[in-house]
Amino acid sequence: MDIFVAKEVTKRYAAQTALNKVSINVPENSIYGLLGPNGAGKTTLIRIINQIIAPDEGELFIYGEKLQPKHTAMIGYLPEERGLYKKMPVGEQALYLAQLKGVPKQVALKRLKLLFEKFEIQDWWAKNVEELSKGMQQKVQFIVTIIHEPKLLIFDEPFSGFDPINATLIRDEILELRKKGASVIFSTHNMASVEELCDDIALINKSKKILEGSVSDIKQTYRSNSYELSYNGYAENFKSLLPESFTLLEESNVDSLRTAKIKLPFGESPNALLQLVLPHVEVHAFKEMLPSMNDIFIEKVNENRATVSSNLS
C-alpha cells in the first residue's frame, strides 16, 4: 500500500511553472528518493506535501485520505535550511516544537530525554541554541523532526553539515525509523547515499518527473550489457580475441592481473564472451557493470536537456 500519493501536482509562479503534473507514490515502510538538479522543483513539491504552499492543480493523499491540515501531525519535516530560535534554550525549544505537533508535554519530555541521551546531547538541554556548534544544532533539529513519531518523514539533505561519525548515526536512525514502520521521502544530491538507502526514486528535472521506479529496477533498465573481466595471460592482443560487434571499453593492468571492460551487443549473452576468452586466458573474476545512480542521473538530465533544446530549435 502506498502511504503517500501525489497525483498530477502542478504549481505555477507568476513567470514559471515550478511543478508540471508531477505524480509520486511512496510505498509504506520504504525510503523514497526525490532527486533532481538544483531548481528542478523538489523543494516546491516538499513544501506542497507539508502544506506550506498549496498546489494549483492535482491531489495529494496520505493513507488514502485527502491531505488536510490535521495530517501535519503525521509528517515530520527536516528542511534543507536548518533553523532554530537562537536565543532559546535547546530543551525548552524542542519541547515547544513537539507540542506544536500535538505531542502532550509529559510524553514529549520523556521522548526528548531518551533521544537527547541517544544523540549524546543531554548536557546541552539548558544551553541556548546559539552556544551550540553547527553539528549539534543539526542533531537537535533532527530530534525535533522525529519527536512526534511521524508516519511520513521528509528529509531534505539530512547529512549536510555532519561529520562521518554523526552522519552514520543519523543514517542508522533513519534505517531504524523505517524498520519501525515509518516511510521516508529523502531529497538529496548525494547519489552514493541514494544507492545505499533508497528503495525507490523519482527524478525531477525542469519541473517534470523524468524517471521513477525502484532503484534496482532502474539499474536493471539502464544496464548496458557491459562486463568487467579480470584475467591472467594473453597479454599481447586481447582485442583480437573479440569479434567486431564487441566493444573493448577499457583495458588496464593492475599488479599481475589484467582487467578489461567489454560492452556486448544488445541481446548477446555474457556466456558468449566467456566462451570466446576461456581457451586463451585464466579468468579470475567476471561481473556485470551496473550503472551507478550517479551515471543514470547525469545521463537522464543531459538527455532531457538535449530533447528540450531540440524541441525548442
- Give the footprint of another protein on this chain (CB under 8 A): 14, 47, 50-54, 56, 69, 72, 75, 77, 79, 81-86, 97, 100-101, 141, 144
CB of 261 to another protein, least distance (A): 45
Residue number with CB closer to another protein (69 or 267) = 69
Residue number with CB closer to another protein (53 or 109) = 53
Residue number with CB closer to another protein (42 or 47) = 47
- 72 grid coordinates: 501535519
Query: What is the three-state SS of 275-313?
Result: HHHCCCCEEEEEEECCCCHHHHHHHHHHHHHHHHHHHHC
CB of 100 to another protein, least distance (A): 4
CB of 143 to another protein, least distance (A): 12
Q: Of all helices (H) and strands (E), which one includes residue 9?
A: strand 2-12
Residue number with CB closer to another protein (100 or 274) = 100
Distance CA 100, CA 94 (A): 10
Residue number with CB closer to another protein (52 or 308) = 52
Q: Which of 149, 162, 169 is nearest to 188 (CA)?
A: 162
CB of 97 to another protein, least distance (A): 7
Distance CA 22, CA 136 (A): 36
The CB-side HSE value for 171 (13 A sphere, CA atoms) comes to 16
Order the strands of the 57-62 sheet from edge to edge.
17-27, 2-12, 57-62, 65-66
CB of 67 to another protein, least distance (A): 13
